[in-house]
Every structure is written in C-alpha cells, then in structure tokens.
Amino acid sequence: MAGRYAGKHVFVAGASSGINLGIAHAFAAEGAKVTVLSRSADKIEAAAAGLHDAGAEAIGIACDVRDYPGLEAAYAEATGKFGPIDVLISGAAGNFLAPAVKLSANAFKTVVDIDLLGTFNVFRASYDHLVRPGASLIAITAGQAVHPSSFQIHACAAKAGVNMVTKCLALEWGPAGIRVNGISPGPIGDTEGMKRLGGDPAREQQIKGRLALRDYGTKADVAEAALWLSSPEAKYVTGAILNVDGGSDLGDASANALG
C-alpha cells in the first residue's frame, strides 16, 4: 500500500481494541506493515483480520506485556516477518475506579505491572529489534500521570511512572538515534477507558462542560498525533509528552463561557 509509512514496520502493544487499535489502523492506512499484540488470542486475531480487511499486511500476536520472555519471542516473530521495527507504540493498560481503602495490594500491583512494568518491558525487549537510527517509540500515557485523581491511585501512580520511563529512555537512547515520546489522551469517546471512567450521560455532559474544547476527543485525534510524532517532521522531538486532551490538562474551564 502507498502512503507516508509505506514499507515501514509498526508494532502496537495493547492493540486489540480502542485507541491503540485506532493507531494501528491509521498507520496501516498510510502503508505500514503492522504487528498488533495483546493478551487475548481471539481479540488480537480479530484485530489483525480487521487490518487485513482494510488492505494492510498485518499479524496479531497474543502476549501479556507482563511476560518478558513472551515479548522477546513476539519481537523475534514480528521482525522475522516484517523486518526491524520503525515505530513502536506501548499502550496496554488496565484501569477501574476503586477507593484506596477498597483496593487490595494485588489490585494496585496488577495495574502498575500492566501499565508501568509493561511499558518498560515493551520498550526494553524491543531494543535489539529497532531500526537504528530512526525508530520512534511512543508510550500512551494519561493525564492521571500528573493530576492526582480520586479512586485511581493505581492508574495515577502507574502512568506517572510511564512518563518517567519515557523521558529516561529518551535520554539514554537518543544517541542511538531512537526518539521516545508519550501521548497523553484526554477523554476519548467510544472507548473502554471512558466506559469505565465516564459513567452515565449526565456525568459525560459534566466532564465535557469542564473541558476547554467542550467535547470528547476521537481515536483519530490520538492517531494523528502518533503519525506526526513518528514522522520526519518531528525528527527533533524526543522526551515530550504530547497532550491530545481538549485542554483537560489546563484544568476546569467550566466558568469560561465567552459572551
């Protein structure tokens, strides 16, 4: 397929659904060969089949990002098929609302293991499989990384760590020609994340009313940021966390009604 990413190998971890699958489709539409990975064999095979139907060369690999040897095998399989990786997205995550006093130590650990350790694993295990120089790595983080949020102590702690992993690797791997950035989506419509955090339509209106741009974002909004961050136009950008969040990071804009 022709396009800005024709012939490139794009690997997306946590891509059986939602924002990350949207990113995989956006790169596929620009000609990339795409590997998608997630825990569930059924879901990831369906995701890869959807990419095939859209005209892409794609494979799906079932693997848990907490399983380091599993990731090493996944990279060996993917690069055996499509060659070294040009673009790597780490977006696997888990979240739910739970007050800290109701959260078991294992529940906290589970989310930290998926989001934070998982991001470290996905990036660390990829090193020998990256196009060097030139690879673009992107962690999908969240506003919870910098804004404390009630009932999400697990996700806040995990995503704060994801931001730091992103910046530390940008420092260490920059000299090898590898850029490492993050994308921090705000509330994105029609996603599992907002099903879990957004609640009913009244609560949804409340959330939208507090955003400067007064609406949820789309999966395409996030995908466009990933396409740009991985492009030659962003060749001097590393260690950045790009908010794609309708102004969510700026705080409550509900009082800012213009004329």
Chain residues in the site for ligand COA (CB under 6 A): 93-96, 98, 103-104, 106-107, 110-111, 192-193, 196
Q: Which does 104 bind (CB under 5 to 8 A by kind): ligand COA, ligand NAP, none?
A: ligand COA
- Residue 118 contacts by C-beta under 8 Å, 6 or more apart in sequence? 13, 14, 65, 66, 90, 92, 93
- Residue 223 contacts by C-beta under 8 Å, 6 or more apart in sequence? 19, 22, 23, 25, 26, 27
The one segment of 40-48, 71-79, 173-181, 225-233 that binds ligand NAP by CB under 6 A: 40-48
The one segment of 38-46, 101-109, 127-135, 225-233 that binds ligand NAP by CB under 6 A: 38-46
Is 231 a binding residue for ligand NAP by CB under 6 A? The answer is: no
Is 191 a binding residue for ligand NAP by CB under 6 A? The answer is: yes
d(CA 179, CA 66) in angstroms, rounded, equals 23
Residue entry with tokens 């741009």: 213
Nearer to ligand COA, 64 or 72 (CB): 64
Q: Classify residue 213 as exposed, middle or buried by CB count within 10 Å of its CB (0-12, 13-18, 19+).
A: middle
Q: Which does 106 bind (CB under 5 to 8 A by kind): ligand COA, ligand NAP, none?
A: ligand COA
DSSP state of 3: S
Distance of CA 94 to the CA centre of its chain: 12
Up-side HSE of residue 68: CA atoms within 13 Å toward CB?
A: 8
The one segment of 3-11, 77-85, 170-178, 189-197 that binds ligand NAP by CB under 6 A: 189-197
Binding site for ligand NAP (CB under 6 A): 14-20, 38-40, 43-44, 64-66, 91-94, 114, 118, 140, 142, 185, 187-188, 191-194
